[in-house]
C-alpha cells in the first residue's frame, strides 16, 4: 500500500508540475440574476482565483485551494459542471489532498458520471484509507450497478470504522432486504434505531423487513411511525465534514425559506416568521414571499401586520388570487365583512374556478348573517389552505 501510495503521489506531483496552469472557470451565465449575497460569493471566489492563476509565483497547492474554493461555491448551488471542472483542476494541482478527489468524485456522481466518480473515490481511499463517506459512496455505486456483495463488503468496512452510523446500518439493511434476508435487515435496523430512534426511514425499512418475515403486526406498528413529509423526517446520520462545509456556503433567500418551511412543519411559527423576514431581506424583489409571511402572521394572531404584507404584494400583483383570498379571510376574522366581500369579488373575477375562491364564498355565506362590520372574530383564525406553503 505504501509503495502504491508513494508512486501515485509521485506521478501525481509530476503531472501537477508538468501541467500548465488550468483553464479559467466560467462564472455563472446568469450572475446578474442571482441574489446579491450569492453573487458576491461567486465574484469574490472567482476574483481570488483569477488573481492567483495569473500570478506565476503562486504555488500549486495554493492555486488548488483557490480552484477548490470556487468549486465548493458552485457545488453548493448545484452548478455541477463548473464545480467538476474546478475540482479536477484542484486534483491536478494538488493530488495529495484527498478532499479535492472526494469533492470531484461527489460532483461526478451527481452528474451521473459513475466511472469517473468511482476512480476519484478510489483515489481518496489511497490517500485516506479510513474515510467512511467514501466507502458509503462506493457502496452506493456498487449497489446501483446491481453488485450487492461488493456493496455489502464496502459497507462492512464503513461499519467497522463508524459503528454508530445509522446511514451505514440502513444501507446494509436495504441490501439485506433486496437479497431477501429480512431477518438480517431487522438486526441492522434494530441496532440503528438505538442510535437514531426518530428516523422515519429506519421505521419504514423495519416495516418492510417484518413484512418479509410475515409479521404484519410489527410491520404496521413501524409504518405508523413513518412521517409523511420530508420536512418532518430526520436524516440518517453520516458524518461528512467535507460536504457539510460545502453546504455551509449556501446563503440567500432560499436557505431561509427552507428553514422557515421546517419551522412551520414543527409548528414553530415565530422562527418561521424570523426566517421569512430574513429571506425578504436577502431578496426584497421576491414579492410573493410576502404571502407566506402574511399567512404566518395571521396564524400568530397578528392580523394587522399580515394585512400590511398582503398590501405590499397586491400593490405588485393585484391579481394574485391566494393573496386576495387570504385578505378576505383576515378581514372576515377582523369582523370586516363588507371588506371581505369586496376582496372575495376581486378574487372571483381573477379566479372564478379556483377552489379556494369557492371555499371562501361558502365561508362568506355562512358568516354573512352572523357578523356585523364591527363585531370582532369570536375564535382564533384558522390557516387558509396553502397559507403555510412558501
Region 149-178 residues binding another protein, contact defined as CB under 8 A: 170-171, 174, 177-178
Per-residue x/- mask for another protein, residues 323 to 352, rule CB under 8 A?
Answer: ---------------------------xx-
C-alpha span between 36 and 32 (Å, rounded): 9
Kindly state whether residue 80 participates in binding another protein, applying the rule CB under 8 A: yes
- For another protein, the closer of residues 132 and 390 by Cβ is 390
Please name the residues in contact with 240: beta carbons below 8 A apart, sequence gap of 6 or more. 133
Supply the minimum distance, in Å, between the C-beta of residue 281 and another protein. Answer: 13
Of 194, 193, 201, 257, the closest CA to residue 226 belongs to 201
Place of cell 452548478: 79
Distance CA 30, CA 387 (A): 31
The Cα–Cα gap between 227 and 205 comes to: 13
28 binding another protein? (CB under 8 A): yes
Please tell me whether residue 44 binds another protein under the rule CB under 8 A.
no
Query: Considering beta carbons, is residue 224 or 241 the nearer one to another protein?
Result: 224
Question: Considering the complex, what minimum distance in angstroms separates the CB of residue 16 from another protein?
Answer: 8
Among 25, 38, 172, 360, binds another protein (CB under 8 A): 38
Contact present, 272 and 295 (Cβ < 8 Å): no
Which segments within 115-171 are labelled E, that is strand?
none
Out of 240, 273, 356, 371, point to the residue binding another protein (CB under 8 A).
356
Return d(Cα 161, Cα 2) in angstroms, integer. Answer: 20
**Minimal distance, residue 255 CB to another protein, in Å:** 9
**Subset of 221-250 contacting another protein (CB under 8 A):** 223, 226, 228-230, 233, 250
Q: Which of residues 45-74 bind another protein (CB under 8 A)?
A: none
Query: Which of 23, 115, 304, 365 touches another protein (CB under 8 A)?
Result: 115
What are the Cα distances from residue 14, in Å, to 9, 17, 89, 104, 195? 8, 5, 14, 20, 45
Q: Could you say whether residue 26 binds another protein (CB under 8 A)?
A: yes
Q: Which stretch binds another protein (CB under 8 A): 48-56, 202-210, 298-306, 372-380?
A: 202-210
Contact criterion met (CB below 8 Å) for 136 and 238? yes
Cell numbers at 327, concatenated: 385578505
Q: Is 308 in the site for another protein (CB under 8 A)?
A: no
Contacts (CB under 8 A) with another protein, residues 127-146:
143-146
Which are the contacts of 179, defined by CB distance < 8 A and separation ≥ 6? 148
- Least distance (Å) between residue 370 CB and another protein: 27
Q: Is 103 in the site for another protein (CB under 8 A)?
A: no
State the number of binding residues for another protein (CB under 8 A).
94
Of 15, 161, 266, 281, the one binding another protein by CB under 8 A: 15
Phi and psi for 369 in degrees, rounded to 5? -85, -5
How far CA 243 is from CA of 45, 91, 196, in Å, comes to: 18, 17, 21
Amino acid at each position: 500500500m505504501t509503495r502504491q501510495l508513494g508512486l501515485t503521489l509521485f506521478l501525481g506531483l509530476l503531472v501537477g508540475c508538468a501541467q500548465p496552469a488550468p483553464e479559467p472557470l466560467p462564472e455563472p451565465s446568469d450572475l446578474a440574476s442571482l441574489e446579491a449575497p450569492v453573487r458576491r460569493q461567486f465574484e469574490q471566489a472567482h476574483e481570488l482565483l483569477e488573481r492567483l492563476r495569473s500570478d506565476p509565483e503562486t504555488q500549486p497547492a495554493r492555486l488548488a485551494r483557490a480552484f477548490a474554493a470556487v468549486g465548493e461555491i458552485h457545488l453548493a448551488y448545484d452548478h455541477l459542471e463548473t464545480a467538476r471542472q474546478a475540482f479536477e483542476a484542484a486534483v491536478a494541482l494538488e493530488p495529495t489532498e484527498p478532499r479535492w478527489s472526494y469533492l470531484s468524485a461527489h460532483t461526478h456522481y451527481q452528474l451521473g458520471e459513475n466511472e469517473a466518480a468511482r476512480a476519484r473515490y478510489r483515489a481518496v481511499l489511497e490517500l485516506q484509507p479510513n474515510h467512511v463517506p467514501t466507502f458509503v459512496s462506493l457502496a452506493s455505486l456498487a449497489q446501483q450497478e446491481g453488485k450487492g456483495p461488493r456493496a455489502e463488503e464496502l459497507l462492512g468496512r464503513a461499519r467497522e470504522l463508524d459503528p454508530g452510523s445509522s446511514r451505514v446500518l440502513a444501507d446494509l439493511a436495504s441490501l439485506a432486504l433486496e437479497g431477501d434476508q429480512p431477518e438480517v435487515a431487522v438486526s441492522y435496523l434494530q441496532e440503528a434505531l438505538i442510535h437514531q430512534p426518530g428516523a422515519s426511514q429506519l421505521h419504514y425499512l423495519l416495516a418492510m423487513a417484518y413484512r418479509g418475515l410475515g409479521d404484519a403486526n410489527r410491520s404496521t406498528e413501524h409504518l405508523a411511525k413513518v412521517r409523511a413529509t420530508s420536512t418532518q423526517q430526520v436524516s440518517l446520520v453520516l458524518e461528512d465534514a467535507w460536504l457539510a462545509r460545502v453546504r455551509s456556503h449556501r446563503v440567500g433567500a432560499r436557505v431561509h425559506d427552507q428553514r422557515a418551511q421546517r419551522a412551520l412543519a414543527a409548528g414553530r411559527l415565530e422562527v418561521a416568521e424570523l426566517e421569512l423576514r430574513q429571506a425578504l431581506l436577502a431578496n426584497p424583489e421576491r414579492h410573493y414571499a410576502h404571502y407566506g409571511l402574511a399567512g404566518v402572521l395571521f396564524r400568530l394572531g397578528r392580523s394587522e401586520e399580515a394585512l400590511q404584507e398582503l398590501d405590499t404584494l397586491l400593490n405588485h400583483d393585484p391579481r394574485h388570487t391566494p393573496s386576495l383570498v387570504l385578505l378576505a379571510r383576515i378581514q372576515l376574522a377582523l369582523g370586516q365583512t363588507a371588506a371581505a366581500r369586496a376582496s372575495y369579488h376581486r378574487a372571483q373575477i381573477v379566479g372564478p374556478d379556483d377552489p379556494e375562491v369557492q371555499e371562501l364564498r361558502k365561508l362568506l355565506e355562512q358568516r354573512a348573517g352572523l357578523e356585523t362590520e364591527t363585531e370582532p372574530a369570536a375564535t382564533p383564525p384558522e390557516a387558509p389552505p396553502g397559507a403555510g406553503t412558501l
